[in-house]
């Protein structure tokens, strides 16, 4: 059974640009959550999608957005990149809402220069 797949693995972008990250959850999993991980802040919850609808949102500015497709694949977008957006972005999938155990992808390492 394939795990959670995130693409790309690494990205370098310039301040002011926008970026789109992709996540394919484990087959059969319908809930996808996104996290930002930095050394000082740890894992910070961005948002959760289930059945193509955003069900939960963390405390991030509107520059961070996401969506989920009918096949449960998800994308997140960050517009007007700032240096502080440099981080490891992790996607996690779970079977359904209310299941707290999360299965993570390898992440996308975003560097903003």
Partner 1 sequence: TQLLEQSPQFLSIQEGENLTVYCNSSSVFSSLQWYRQEPGEGPVLLVTVVTGGEVKKLKRLTFQFGDARKDSSLHITAAQPGDTGLYLCAGPDAGNNRKLIWGLGTSLAVNP
The binding site for partner 1 (CB under 8 A) comprises: 4, 6, 31, 42-43, 45, 48, 55-56, 58, 90, 92, 97-98, 100-107, 109
Of the two residues 62 and 100, which places its CB atom closer to partner 1 in the complex? 100
State both tokens at 90.
């992790």
Of the two residues 19 and 92, which places its CB atom closer to partner 1 in the complex? 92
* 32 beta partners: 49, 93
Of the two residues 67 and 88, which places its CB atom closer to partner 1 in the complex? 88
Using DSSP bridges, classify how beta strands 108-112 and 53-57 pair: parallel, antiparallel or unpaired.
unpaired
State both tokens at 110.
């975003």
User: Shortest gap between Cβ of 100 and partner 1 (angstroms)?
Assistant: 5
Of 81, 101, 83, which Cα lies nearest the Cα of 92?
101
């Amino acid at each position: 059974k394939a795990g959670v797949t995130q693409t790309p693995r690494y990205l370098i972008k310039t301040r002011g640009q926008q970026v789109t990250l992709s996540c394919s959850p484990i087959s059969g999993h319908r809930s996808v959550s996104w996290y930002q991980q930095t050394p000082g802040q740890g894992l910070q919850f961005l948002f959760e999608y289930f059945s193509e609808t955003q069900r939960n949102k963390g405390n991030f500015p509107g520059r961070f957005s996401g969506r989920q497709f009918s096949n449960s694949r998800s994308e997140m977008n960050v517009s007007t990149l700032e240096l502080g957006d440099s981080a490891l972005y992790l996607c996690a999938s779970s079977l359904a809402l209310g299941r707290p155990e999360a299965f993570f992808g390898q992440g996308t390492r975003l560097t903003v220069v």
